[in-house]
Structure 1
Amino acid sequence: MITVPRGLVLSLAALFSTYHVLLGIYSLNQPRTPGPAVLAIVVYFVATVLSLWPTSPMRMPLWLAFFNVAVCAMIPLLVVSQLDGSVDNGYATWYVAAVGTLMTITATRRQPALAWVGAGALVVHTVVWAGPAALGSMGVIGSVVWVAVAVILARALAKAGRDARQYALAEREATEWQAAQEAHLYERQVRLAQTIRLAAPMLRRIIDRGGDLTAEQRQECRYLEAAVRDEIRGRKLLNDAVRDQVMAARRRGAIVTLLDEGNIDDIRGPELETVLNTLAAAIGGTTADSIIARTAGDGSATAVTVVGLSSADARLSALGQESPEPEVDLWLEIPR
């Protein structure tokens, strides 16, 4: 979006305001008594400096906007108190353009309602003092047009700014959505390739034998199915060491469950390998009948929790005794 430096805008407004001050000083010989005109120049200068202060916020404070309106009502009263409204006063009516400039600044700084009040006060004063015909000859209509243009431009620029922010937000959301879709696609491709690598040999064997498998081959299919489920549910809990230890545990009769709930997605590189190697060592070092490994909750200092349970002794049930609850054979919290 094309932007205009604020310093340039302030400089142009300051030049216009200084020009009006110089016109007021130049025409001090026309009023019967220059005192009120000098006071009007000083008040206008103070209001302009406050309105164009470089470090001020874009939206003009309400107290300053009311002050500018009061200045626009006071300046004409001070200046024309020493002028004759029935004659052409030349540059002595410098206050008309000055009021228009000050209200234009007020409107540009997002106080359009009070800018219209100040411009309306100028119109009413001119009609009362010199008649409706003076609105054109003294330049009052031009000052009102300045204010109108400033209000329209301020609203248009504000709308353009809102639209630009909305477009930027939409673009950022679209970029994030695209990145997420690409990540999902990559994830699917990786999981599919891993699944094909695991299952393809057994699938070819099933085809070759026409589905007539031995008991050992059927059991191997069950192991492969569990491994495929690990690729879906385990996700980042898997590396080659974990896969080998999980398969070894299943071959000895253990039930292994891997659950990745997405809470370790921020762990990458060597740190993730350290966590997974620790998990593989824990699975390989236990004789538990049931092993559950899952990621910890958000905000936890633990990356993965591993629990191993050993079933009750079957001989107790055979003797008619109540079977105890499964015993905890392994409890491990792997830190981040």
Structure 2
Amino acid sequence: MIITVPRYLIVALAAVFSGYHLLLATYSLNAPIDKGPYIAAMALYALATAASLWATGSSRMPAWLAACNVAVAIIIPVLVTTQLPANQPIGNDYSTWYVAAIGTLMVITSTRKRHVFAWAGVAALVVHTIVWAGPAALPTIGVLGSVVWVGVSHALSVSLAKASADAEEYVVAERQAAAWQAAQEAHLFERQFRLRQTSRMALPMLRRIVASGGDLTEEQRRECLNLEGAIRDEIRGRKLLNAAVREHVMSARRKGTIVTLLDEGGLDDLPEDELDRVLADLADAIRSTTADRLIVRTVPEGSDVAVTVVGLSSGDGGSASALGHPEEDDEDQVDLWLEIPRTAG
């Protein structure tokens, strides 16, 4: 189970932590020589923090806002330190509140995926501190701590981004595995169904062949050919078949009609009630035709027609081929041309 923290709670905590720095600045208002620039620095920090925490459409901070935060990180130390007495010991009061404040602002910038700007902000803070109070002041007033905060934020942000990407990959892999498993189960069910159908149709004749030792009458041999065609229909006909269609196709074959069923996937997305209607019309067409050769084919999805039925009669009594022998096509006549619509009406 994945536990997620609401965004508003994170923003609220960041706002409280940022407000704490302003509280320290307010507490040390007696330290500056001129309170004007000092208060301006507080207002500038509050404005930059509010803009950085404000909800936007993306978790990534806009580049212009990140650049403004870097400018704030440069301006605030100048506004504050120029108003501090030169003889005042550094680090003995809260007048250097801006160090932790800028560190917090840069952590927010880094968290919102603007790491380069965050590092630029703390780098400006480091340079200003060295120029103003020397390298010894870096650990004293907490500059190194701000640098560490940004480093930790950067590392966590990169790690979380990688974890999120890995999680998305796992989700995609899981979906693919589930789809593969469903497809395999569907194929297995289809094979089992076809095997049951084949067994049901062929088993009586196979028993008869065994019982007679293979000595079949001419009528039984013709029935074997009809059963072979029925088994072929189960493979190539797929959704063109139901009980009525099977019955009328077998009846037509026993009368001498050559029947070819070809399902090329045009009925896969057809609703069940529409499919029943199409197969009922198909069964009626097969039952009523007197053609020597019958070709039934599905139409690809996107057409208004679901199934086409073509009935051909041959001048030589049905021995000419309508599909495999084009040299004899001129002897065939179209007795039936039927287009069964995909939807009723």
Please, what TM-score do these two structures have when normalized by structure 1?
A: 0.94
Q: Describe the shift of the 1:85–1:188 C-alpha distance in structure 2 as closer, same or farther (beyond 3 A).
A: farther
2:294 is aligned to 291
d(CA) in 1 for partners of 2:273 and 2:69? Answer: 65
The reply to whether residue 88 of structure 1 matches residue 121 of structure 2 is no
CA-CA distance at 1:215 after TM superposition: 1.2
Counting only pairs closer than 5 Å after superposition, residues 27-66 of structure 1 correspond to structure 2 as: 27-66=28-67
Instruction: Kindly report which structure 2 residues correspond to 1:6-155, keeping only aligned pairs within 5 A, or say none.
Output: 6-84=7-85, 87-88=89-90, 90-155=93-158
- Residues 294 and 305 of structure 1 are in contact (CA less than 8 Å); yes or no, is this contact kept in structure 2? yes
For residues 119-138 of structure 1, the C-alpha deviation after alignment (integer angstroms, 9 at most, x for no partner) is 11111111111011100110
Q: Separation in 1 of the partners of 2:285 and 2:207?
A: 34
* Counterparts of 2:218 and 2:75, CA distance in 1: 104
Instruction: Please give the alpha-carbon distance, in whole angstroms, between the structure 1 residues aligned to 2:60 and 2:155.
Output: 16
**1:251-279 Cα deviation digits (max 9, x unpaired):** 22211110111221222433221111110
Mark the CA change 1:248 to 1:281 in structure 2 (over 3 Å): closer, same or farther: same
Matches for 1:1-336 after TM superposition, within 5 Å: 1-84=2-85, 87-88=89-90, 90-312=93-315, 324-336=330-342
State the shift of 1:84 in Å. 4.1
**Distance change >3 Å, CA 85–CA 160, structure 1 → 2:** farther
The runs of 4+ residues in structure 1 deviating greater than 4 Å are: none
TM-score (structure 2 length as normaliser): 0.92
SS of 1:92 mapped into structure 2 = coil
Counterpart of 1:42 in structure 2: which amino acid? A
Q: For residues 76 and 325 of structure 1, do their structure 2 counterparts lie closer, same or farther at Cα, with a shift above 3 Å needed? A: farther
Q: For each residue in 1:45-89, what CA deviation from the matched residue of structure 2 results, as whole angstroms up to 9, or x when unmatched? A: 111111001345200011111011111111101111112466225
Identity %: 62
Aligned-residue CA RMSD (Å)? 1.6
Contact 2:263/2:297, CA 8 A, preserved across alignment = yes
Per-residue CA deviation, residues 10-62 of structure 1 (Å, 9 max, x unaligned), is 01100011111121122121111111111111111111111001345200011
Unaligned 5+ residue runs, structure 2?
318-327
Rounded Cα–Cα distance in structure 1 between residues aligned with 2:134 and 2:128 = 9
Which range moved further: 201-210 or 49-58? 49-58
Residues in 1 aligned to 2:83 and 2:107: alpha-carbon distance in whole angstroms: 27
Q: How many residues align?
A: 329
